[in-house]
């Protein structure tokens, strides 16, 4: 069992919902979500081991703050979201 699965095993959120969030016949609806989860896996937990659920959760919270404020993004011309917001307030 993988590192995250091993730690989250007893903390599961329950069974998946019985429906799809995308429109019928349009899998592209999930593309943005899948991209975010891909970055999350690549940048946050691939290759890491977590001793406990709390360690995983604390790290995930810190990563989400990093994602939303400090991570440089190509679509923002290499700026962080925080820098981009500040530039729009000055303009």
Structure confidence by residue, pLDDT tens digits, 17-46: 566 666 666 667 678 788 888 989 998 988
Q: Which two tokens stand for residue 19?
A: 């429906």
Is 52's pLDDT higher than 60? Answer: yes
Do 50 and 59 meet the contact criterion of CB atoms below 8 Å apart?
A: yes
Q: Taking the chain, what is the end-to-end CA distance rounded to the nearest angstrom?
A: 51
Please state, as a whole number, how many other Cβ atoms lie within 10 Å of the Cβ of residue 7: 20
pLDDT tier, 10 (very low <50, low <70, confident <90, very high otherwise): low
């Amino acid at each position: 069992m993988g590192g995250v699965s091993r730690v989250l095993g007893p903390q599961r959120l329950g069974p998946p919902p019985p429906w799809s969030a995308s429109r019928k016949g349009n899998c592209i609806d999930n593309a943005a979500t899948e991209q975010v989860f891909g970055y999350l896996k690549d940048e946050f937990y691939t290759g890491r081991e977590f001793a406990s659920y709390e360690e995983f959760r604390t790290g995930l919270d810190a990563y989400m703050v990093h994602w939303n404020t400090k991570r440089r993004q190509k679509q923002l011309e290499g700026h962080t979201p925080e820098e981009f917001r500040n530039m729009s307030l000055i303009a």
